[in-house]
Amino acid sequence: MRVAIASDHGGIHIRKEIADLLDELKIEYVDFGCNCETSVDYPDYALPVAEKVASGEF
């Protein structure tokens, strides 16, 4: 199984918790960000994930 994760600034902490859980479970994932706590727009991070899922990479 391979998982894609991403969030905006509001979800950065929960995304990190999810990444830790995936590590524990030895599930491969790609983190598309964001990696900052300044305000960002979620579509900037959701779109690349959606494109990768739609292409069959995930």
pLDDT per residue as tens, the chain (58 positions):
899 999 999 999 999 999 999 999 999 999 999 988 899 999 999 999 999 999 999 9
Report pLDDT for 11.
94
* Domain range enclosing 8: 2-54
Total count of domains within the chain: 1
> Angle at CA 23, nearest 5°, toward 2 and 42?
65
Report pLDDT for 29.
98
d(Cα 40, Cα 29) in Å, to the nearest integer?
22
Residues 6+ apart with CB under 8 A from 58: 2, 3, 4, 30, 49, 52
Report pLDDT for 44.
94
Report pLDDT for 24.
98
